């Protein structure tokens, strides 16, 4: 009997281990954007797939002005959704499927200009917490920024969404307890990128992970802006990362080739899908003074 129990226990461990190692099924929604989505979607896919943790597919919408009724994704097939979309409204079936997925506790990564999308969709604005452009103003919610050790909600009237000149900048840690943050440095330098500021919305931020200062000399807000955070929305796990402006080609794409961006994307994505982060902080993660790059969108092996 003891031998039989041991065999059963061993088989159970093997099965659990096998399930734990199964790649996370992922769908990247793209096809329309005011940014270079043919580059960003492939960079996202390669970063996710090259990690060995994900199997990421791409769902490409019709071109702007096309037949959006034909664009439907079965979100229930995936453990993770990555939004790289800013364009025409989805059809009602697509919108309801997305909301059902989120309300059932799905994992969602909101990447860069995806927070520009659907300015008039109230539920979407709650899901992303902060957005910009697309007609957003004080009716979308307050400006939200970091000051004196906490988040400020500023109800001043004005448009939502802005950035100054692209530049390298330092990310500043605001929460060390979220699993995404375990072992990461409190300050690290990001590659040349847009720095979104004057973002506004319902602002139900759960864990603010990193902010960065938008300098006025580069036409920024002069505020410490929330750039990486999780969102408090029902049972869903939502990770919003405003970094990662796509370059002209996969080879000339510094903001997405930045090691810091890729590592945060991977850690946030795993947390969204599983509620935990198994990844160790890599040796090539940038520090406060030096940018680090992964030009092939994968970890450097010695």
Please say whether the beta carbons of 199 and 115 come within 8 A.
yes
Q: How far is CA 136 from the centre of its chain?
A: 20
Average pLDDT (64-73) is 97
**pLDDT at position 107 over 60:** yes
- Residue 196's nearest CA partner among 228, 169, 225 is 225
Q: Which pLDDT tens digit goes with each residue over 7-49?
A: 444 444 434 444 457 999 999 999 999 999 999 999 999 999 9
pLDDT mean across residues, the chain = 94
In 215-290, DSSP assigns E strands to 224-231, 237-241
Which CATH code, of 3.40.50.12500, 3.40.109.10, 3.40.50.1980, 3.40.50.880, is assigned to 25-274?
Answer: 3.40.50.880
Domain residue ranges in the chain: 25-274
């Amino acid at each position: 009997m003891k031998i039989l129990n041991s065999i059963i226990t061993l088989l159970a461990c093997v099965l659990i281990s096998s399930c734990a190692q199964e790649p996370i099924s992922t769908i990247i929604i793209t096809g329309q954007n005011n940014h270079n989505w043919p580059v960003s979607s492939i960079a996202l896919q390669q970063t996710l797939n090259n990690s060995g943790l994900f199997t990421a597919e791409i769902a490409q919408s019709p071109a702007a002005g096309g037949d959006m009724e034909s664009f439907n994704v079965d979100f229930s097939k995936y453990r993770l959704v990555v939004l790289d979309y800013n364009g025409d409204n989805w059809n009602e079936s697509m919108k309801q499927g997305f909301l059902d997925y989120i309300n059932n506790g799905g994992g969602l990564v909101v990447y860069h200009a995806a927070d520009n999308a659907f300015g008039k969709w109230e539920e979407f604005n709650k899901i992303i917490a902060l957005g910009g452009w697309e007609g957003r103003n004080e009716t979308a919610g307050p400006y939200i920024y970091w000051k004196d050790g906490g988040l400020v909600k500023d109800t001043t009237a004005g448009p939502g969404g802005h950035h100054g000149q692209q530049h390298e900048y330092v990310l500043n840690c605001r929460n060390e307890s979220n699993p995404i943050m375990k072992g990461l440095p409190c300050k690290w330098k990001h590659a040349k990128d847009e720095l979104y500021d004057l973002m506004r919305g319902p602002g139900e931020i759960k864990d603010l992970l990193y902010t960065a200062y938008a300098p006025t000399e580069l036409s920024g807000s002069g505020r410490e802006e929330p750039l990486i955070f999780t969102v408090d929305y029902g049972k869903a796990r939502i990770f919003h990362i405003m970094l990662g402006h796509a370059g002209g080609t996969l080879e000339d794409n510094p903001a997405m080739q930045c090691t810091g961006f890729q590592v945060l994307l991977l850690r946030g994505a795993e947390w969204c899908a599983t509620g935990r982060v198994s990844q160790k902080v890599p040796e090539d993660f940038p520090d406060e003074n030096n940018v680090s790059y992964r030009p092939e969108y994968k970890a450097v092996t010695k």
